[in-house]
A and B are shown apart, each in its own frame.
Chain A
Amino acid sequence: MFDWIRSIIFKKKLRQQDRVSMLAAFRKKYVHFKILLDSNSQLLNIISDIEEKLRGVTPFGLTYVRSQSVRILFYTGRMIRSFEGMTGKNCTELHAVLDNIYTFFKHEDELPPAPVSDEITLPYSRIDKNLERSVGGKNANLAEIRNHVHLPVPAGFAITTLAFRRFIDSRALVDNIRKIKEKLDIISPENILQVSQSIETMLLSADVPEDIVVEIRKAIGDLALETGQSETCMKVALRSSAVGEDSEFSFAGQYLSVINVPCTHIISEYKRVVASLFSERAITYRQHMGIPFEEAAMSVACIEMVQSDVSGIMYSCHPFLRTKEQVIIHAIWGLGSYIADGIVSPDIYVLNRSTPPALVEKSISNKPIYLAPDEAGYLVENAVEENLRLAPCLSDAQAIQLAEYALQIESHFGQAQDIEWAINPHGKIIILQSRPLHQTTLLTDGPSQLKEAIPGYELLVESGSIACQGVGCGPAHIVKSEADLLNFPDHGVLVAPRSYPQYVLVMGKAQAIVTDSGSLTGHMASLSREFNVPALLNTRIATSRIQPGELITVDALSGRVYRGRVTELLDETFGNPDMSRKTPVYNILRRRADWIIPLNLVDPKSVNFQAINCKTVHDIMRFLHERSYTEIFSISDQASDHLNATVRLNAPLMLDLYIIDLGGGIHQQASGYNTITVDQIHSPPFLALLRGMMRKEFQNSEPRPVDLGGFFSVMTRQLVSPPNLDTERFGDKSYAIISNKYVNFSSRVGYHYSILDAYCGKTATKNYVNFQFKGGAADDIRRHRRARSIQRILEHLGFIVATTGDRVTARYAKDDTVVIEDKLDYIGRLLMYSRQMDMLMKTEESVVNLADQFLEGNYMLDRQRNQAQAC
């Protein structure tokens, strides 16, 4: 009898030991699984970002491509390693695929670099576009026009990037710059002003090495000889020509150019131009465009001063109206900077692109002032003679000749151009600068001036020049000085008397820009297109009609500004994004993306769903993601049939939910059951989540309301899109991995998936909630709206949220147990509420409406369904 009892106790102990060791083994595998999921998440973010870049709306540089390649290879490699850690087996086939991808990337990286000159200065006669790395974009383009298009440009030379490198190397400046910058990057990247001032002060107080000074002086002597002037009388313009400037990144107005410089001041002015590489605006611009400090290098154009009776800017075609075959010319009296800075409204000439071009439109402005150089080396503002103020700056013949030049230059460079020009006192046209014209997405066929204003809203502004198309809404922030930019609110609308390029400092957060003056061809207008911020200029009355802080909607499609939020406009569905920006860097990303993004392994049930059939990063991710879930659950299923490590949750959830307990997540008395109820769960964070999911409002609510438009959108997406991660997972199991302080919940509800990972113990600093949400079955617009609605909810709940496309990632951390449990309760509610919410996202308004309904505690979507059906 005792032996029998002893045997029973012994067997029970053995079972307990087995279970403990099995769970310990499982925990180790789970660590790898968790890292695998993190790698998967990192890769999804990178892929979303690359997809966004490939839409062609946001410019990017080679550094972006390289850094994303580095991250892609690392996280893919780490994902494979994690899976190997889980299974104990080598994934030879997957390593081979990754090696292929690596080899392709490496081959492209090893392409021979562009030639670099070893000279301090180079005359324009010896420069072409291949020397861009030595002379910067502005010099290279101007020399190309001189030497290959054979149009008149000012005589001049480039002070090369070698001079810049030598300057900053010679005084250990580069190390100091890097130190200042890295120190502040890690502390407070927002503190750009401090970085900028420290670096600029350092550069301005350093001496330029003597041999560089000698070389520059020698080149000045040559220039004086070429132009037939004496060095003492000659004045020059020193213009920034940074590497990358005037390429796919315009850097419009971000760097310094100084004109009318006497030869005695050249070295000190050279330092000022170089220092502008680190101006607050330039650093902001580079940060926004993802260009690292190491790639920044400044060449300077030193060109003869052109006496300009008339100056201007011309575009070889319209920046967003592709259907209009037009050359646009803006002209003013005197020097051209008053156009670029939006100070004088220019005369506008529009010509068709025929041979020869024909003038189709001419609009003459009042030009009361002009800027001119004086003998002392200063620039002076003068009054325009009364009889010339309303007189055209250009004869029709000059306008036609300018348009011919614009078309010749465009033809040479193979893309639309943004050109600065001047006419000297002898009537000769001189090209001062040419760069690619940044063209934005075509949203409509043009400023729909004829379109009726939206009824029911007060019109504040009824006309203006559209610089960047789009619609933006937010509180008005009046900017009358640079100081006003410091407290610019997130999502504000910038309203200003003039259009200055300094606004670049806040373009990342501005919803729209409205100004009293300014023109399509100004620097600020170029920047608004690069940042894709809707901009309406030259309204004349914006600052007098718009009150600080009031909510306004800027319609930069028809040229109007309304008081309040005009949902009808914000709801407007825009056309296809611009895919025409096929720069060399774009093409490199496009080629790499072919190794990253396509998904070939689409059906986990197919016999082809094997490692050997993986071809891309996405395939590897898909394969490992699927197999890792299978692995983590099958390990426990096989090893623990009699230990019951995997249990099914019996709860009114409409989910097929399986649980693995890492320890202390399920009550001991339920140990050994195949199915458990909610009462038998002991994991507080999981219980908090379930509490939210099981609220009575979510019971008996299947299926979710679907309006016909939404349903059609779902069907369309499935018909036109290949099966993907989201759609094929419909109906799969959901899993929770829990402990007494931890929950990892992966669910696939409907066509979307979400992953929740939370730790909730007594130590507040260790507690966190990470939440990810992606997918849906509706079209892009509705899924993106749902993502933004979820973002709104989570932000309101105190989460830090990032949204890219239809993907939302959110984090809340370091708070007390009771707060974390409350957040989990809300996430539970949100998981249920969000099911097929995308289909109800019929209008832009629903982003806010559905979020507000949730936040007000109204979780029943029937009302929204009825509204949607009524639409």
Chain B
Amino acid sequence: MAAYRILVVDDEQDFLETLVNRLIKRKFKAVGALSGEEALSKMKTGLFDAVILDVKMPGGMDGIEALREMKKIQPSAEVLLLTGHGSIETSIEGVKLGAFDYLLKPVRLEELLEKLSLAFEKKDLQVD
């Protein structure tokens, strides 16, 4: 079975690298993007099963805007919002735009993997 493809988007480089490396160790095909713009560019050239997307990325496109564009490029990619600054506004907006989950930092890797697993189950059930 081919490994699931995950795109991680976060403006904190250390966090991004750590998470991508952890996911690769868990046998996922994970790549990182430091901004919403970079993420959209990667989604135009490669397919992803899931995206882990930071909501608050100062200085560029924010997570909600990135989500909106991602759903236009790859509607089937499941987007999990991950943020240290959760707000009820982004929560409501995220669900309207079709985010699969909304996670608040700090999140344990195991918890994140469980959420991803459900997202992949959804995809598997759709294509089996």
Stretch at the interface among A177-185, A321-329, A491-499: A177-185
Residues on the B chain within 8 Å of A70, using CB: 86-88, 90-91, 102, 104
A71–B107 CA distance with the chains assembled, in angstroms: 14
Minimum CB distance partner of A765 in chain B: B27
Partner of A186, one of B87, B88, B109: B109
Q: Are A77 and B105 in contact (CB under 8 A)?
A: no
Partner of A182, one of B1, B106, B108, B118: B106
Minimum CB distance partner of B21 in chain A: A187
Partner of B102, one of A31, A71, A763: A71
Residues on the A chain within 8 Å of B96, using CB: 77
Does any Cβ of A come within 8 Å of B38's Cβ? no
Question: Please, what's the 1-or-0 string for B109-126, where 1 marks a CB less than 8 Å from any CB in chain A?
Answer: 100101001100110011
> Could you show 12 A-B contacts with beta carbons less than 8 Å apart?
A69-B88, A71-B102, A73-B91, A74-B91, A74-B99, A74-B102, A77-B96, A178-B12, A181-B106, A182-B15, A186-B22, A739-B128
A89–B106 CA distance with the chains assembled, in angstroms: 36
Partner of B104, one of A71, A109, A183, A766: A71
Question: Please, what's the 1-or-0 string for B70-101, where 1 marks a CB less than 8 Å from any CB in chain A?
Answer: 00000000000000111111111011101111
Partner of A763, one of B1, B15, B118: B1
Task: Find residues 16-38 in chain B having any chain A CB closer than 8 Å to their own CB.
Answer: 18-19, 22, 27
Q: Are B22 and A109 in contact (CB under 8 A)?
A: no
B127 to chain A, nearest CB (A): 9
Residues on the A chain within 8 Å of B86, using CB: 66-67, 70-71
Does any Cβ of B come within 8 Å of A28's Cβ? yes
Q: Are A189 and B125 in contact (CB under 8 A)?
A: no
User: In the complex where A28-B126, A71-B102, A292-B84 touch, is A179 in contact with B95 (Cβ < 8 A)?
Assistant: no
A338–B86 CA distance with the chains assembled, in angstroms: 43
Partner of A185, one of B89, B91, B107: B107
Residues on the A chain within 8 Å of B121, using CB: 34, 759
Q: Are B92 and A77 in contact (CB under 8 A)?
A: yes
Residues on the B chain within 8 Å of A739, using CB: 128
**Dominant SS at the B interface?**
helix
Minimum CB distance partner of A106 in chain B: B88
Task: Find residues 292-320 in chain A having any chain B CB closer than 8 Å to their own CB.
Answer: 292, 294
A29 to chain B, nearest CB (A): 11
Q: Are A31 and B126 in contact (CB under 8 A)?
A: yes
A92–B27 CA distance with the chains assembled, in angstroms: 42
Q: Are A189 and B14 in contact (CB under 8 A)?
A: no
Q: Are B88 and A102 in contact (CB under 8 A)?
A: yes
Residues on the A chain within 8 Å of B108, using CB: 185-186, 189
Minimum CB distance partner of A800 in chain B: B110
Q: Are A109 and B14 in contact (CB under 8 A)?
A: no
B8 to chain A, nearest CB (A): 11
**Dominant SS at the A interface?**
helix
Residues on the B chain within 8 Å of A71, using CB: 86, 91, 102, 104
Which residues of B are in contact with A by a Cβ distance under 8 Å? 1, 12, 14-15, 18-19, 22, 27, 84-92, 94-96, 98-102, 104-109, 112, 114, 117-118, 121-122, 125-126, 128
Which residues of A are in contact with B by a Cβ distance under 8 Å? 27-28, 30-31, 34-35, 38, 66-67, 69-71, 73-74, 77-78, 81, 98, 102, 105-106, 109, 178-179, 181-183, 185-187, 189, 292, 294, 663, 739, 759, 763, 765-766, 768, 811, 813
Residues on the B chain within 8 Å of A179, using CB: 12, 14-15
A362–B40 CA distance with the chains assembled, in angstroms: 74
A35–B6 CA distance with the chains assembled, in angstroms: 20
B34 to chain A, nearest CB (A): 14
Q: Are A77 and B88 in contact (CB under 8 A)?
A: no
Residues on the B chain within 8 Å of A35, using CB: 100, 118, 122
Query: 8 shortest A-B CB distances, which residue pairs?
Result: A185-B106, A77-B95, A70-B86, A74-B102, A74-B91, A70-B91, A179-B14, A73-B91
A81–B100 CA distance with the chains assembled, in angstroms: 11
Partner of B117, one of A34, A67, A181, A768: A768
Minimum CB distance partner of B85 in chain A: A294
A765–B1 CA distance with the chains assembled, in angstroms: 11
Residues on the A chain within 8 Å of B15, using CB: 179, 182-183, 186
B122 to chain A, nearest CB (A): 5
Q: Other CB < 8 Å A-B pairs besides A71-B104, A77-B91, 10 of them?
A: A38-B118, A69-B88, A74-B99, A81-B95, A102-B88, A182-B106, A183-B15, A186-B112, A294-B84, A768-B117
Partner of B94, one of A28, A34, A74, A182: A74
Q: Are A186 and B107 in contact (CB under 8 A)?
A: yes
A449 to chain B, nearest CB (A): 45
Q: Are A31 and B122 in contact (CB under 8 A)?
A: yes
Q: Are B126 and A186 in contact (CB under 8 A)?
A: no
A67–B85 CA distance with the chains assembled, in angstroms: 9
A102–B100 CA distance with the chains assembled, in angstroms: 19
Minimum CB distance partner of A178 in chain B: B12
Residues on the A chain within 8 Å of B27, using CB: 765
A351–B81 CA distance with the chains assembled, in angstroms: 57
Q: Are A187 and B18 in contact (CB under 8 A)?
A: yes
A703 to chain B, nearest CB (A): 37
A763–B4 CA distance with the chains assembled, in angstroms: 14
Q: Are B125 and A34 in contact (CB under 8 A)?
A: yes
Residues on the B chain within 8 Å of A81, using CB: 95, 98
A74–B88 CA distance with the chains assembled, in angstroms: 8
Q: Are B84 and A34 in contact (CB under 8 A)?
A: no
A181 to chain B, nearest CB (A): 8
Residues on the B chain within 8 Å of A181, using CB: 106
Q: Are A189 and B106 in contact (CB under 8 A)?
A: yes
A813–B27 CA distance with the chains assembled, in angstroms: 16
Q: Are A183 and B117 in contact (CB under 8 A)?
A: no
Residues on the B chain within 8 Å of A27, using CB: 125-126, 128
User: In the complex where A78-B95, A182-B15 touch, is A30 in contact with B88 (Cβ < 8 A)?
Assistant: no
A104 to chain B, nearest CB (A): 10
Residues on the A chain within 8 Å of B118, using CB: 35, 38
Most buried by B among A71, A74, A105, A181: A74
Residues on the B chain within 8 Å of A34, using CB: 121-122, 125
Residues on the A chain within 8 Å of B87, using CB: 70
Minimum CB distance partner of A69 in chain B: B88
Residues on the A chain within 8 Å of B94, using CB: 74
B42 to chain A, nearest CB (A): 21
Residues on the B chain within 8 Å of A69, using CB: 88
A645 to chain B, nearest CB (A): 16
Residues on the B chain within 8 Å of A78, using CB: 95
Minimum CB distance partner of B110 in chain A: A800
Residues on the A chain within 8 Å of B85, using CB: 294
A102–B18 CA distance with the chains assembled, in angstroms: 35
A450 to chain B, nearest CB (A): 48
A484–B35 CA distance with the chains assembled, in angstroms: 45
Partner of B18, one of A77, A186, A663, A765: A186
Q: Are B109 and A187 in contact (CB under 8 A)?
A: yes
Q: Are A73 and B126 in contact (CB under 8 A)?
A: no
Q: Are A185 and B104 in contact (CB under 8 A)?
A: no
A380–B87 CA distance with the chains assembled, in angstroms: 51
B111 to chain A, nearest CB (A): 10
Q: Are B88 and A105 in contact (CB under 8 A)?
A: yes
User: In the complex where A35-B122, A78-B95 touch, is A186 in contact with B104 (Cβ < 8 A)?
Assistant: no
A266–B108 CA distance with the chains assembled, in angstroms: 39
B84 to chain A, nearest CB (A): 7
A811–B115 CA distance with the chains assembled, in angstroms: 13
Residues on the B chain within 8 Å of A763, using CB: 1
A78–B78 CA distance with the chains assembled, in angstroms: 13
Q: Are A67 and B126 in contact (CB under 8 A)?
A: no
Minimum CB distance partner of B81 in chain A: A74
Residues on the B chain within 8 Å of A98, using CB: 92
Residues on the B chain within 8 Å of A294, using CB: 84-85
Minimum CB distance partner of A103 in chain B: B88
Residues on the B chain within 8 Å of A187, using CB: 18, 22, 109
Residues on the A chain within 8 Å of B14, using CB: 179, 182-183
B48 to chain A, nearest CB (A): 18
Q: Are A186 and B19 in contact (CB under 8 A)?
A: yes
A127 to chain B, nearest CB (A): 30
